Amino acid sequence: MTLIALAVACLMLVTLGYSALCAASPFGTCRTCNGFGFATTTDRKGRPKRGKSCRRCKATGKRIRAGRWLFNRAQRIYREGTN
Ligand SMILES: [Zn+2]
């Protein structure tokens, strides 16, 4: 097996794994707030406190995966095309 074939095989495996991940759990944890849905700040006594709601995930703590977003979009285009 050549090196290129091996690289392609690895790439396909990663893509397949990612597709499976997108199908199994379409939502990932928000990287901005780590899934809390809000920023954490500390009050004057140093205790953790709920801060502003996260704007990136609209305070849900979840973000749709790019792969799933593409899948949803492709599916919508396909449906509109067949109707
Ligand atoms: Zn967030």
For residues 32 and 46, what is the distance between their CA atoms, to the nearest angstrom?
22
Express as a percent the part of the chain with pLDDT over 90: 28
- Rounded to the nearest whole angstrom, what is the distance from the C-alpha of residue 27 to the centroid of ligand 1? 12
* Amino acid code (one letter) for 8: V
pLDDT tens readout for residues 19-49: 888 777 888 899 888 888 888 888 899 888 8
Question: Could you tell me if residue 19 is inside a domain?
Answer: no
- Rounded to the nearest whole angstrom, what is the distance from the C-alpha of residue 53 to the centroid of ligand 1? 8
Question: Could you tell me if residue 53 is inside a domain?
Answer: yes
Give which of 28, 22, 33 is closest to 58, Cα–Cα.
33
82 vs 13: which has the higher pLDDT:
13
Structural domain that includes position 69: 29-83
Give which of 24, 10, 37 is closest to 65, Cα–Cα.
24
Question: Could you tell me if residue 6 is inside a domain?
Answer: no
- Rounded to the nearest whole angstrom, what is the distance from the C-alpha of residue 47 to the centroid of ligand 1? 21
Question: Could you tell me if residue 13 is inside a domain?
Answer: no
- Rounded to the nearest whole angstrom, what is the distance from the C-alpha of residue 76 to the centroid of ligand 1? 26
Positive or negative torsion for Cα 21, 22, 25, 27: positive
Question: Could you tell me if residue 74 is inside a domain?
Answer: yes
Question: Could you tell me if residue 24 is inside a domain?
Answer: no
- Rounded to the nearest whole angstrom, what is the distance from the C-alpha of residue 33 to the centroid of ligand 1? 4
Report if pTM > 0.75: no
- What's the domain count of the chain? 1
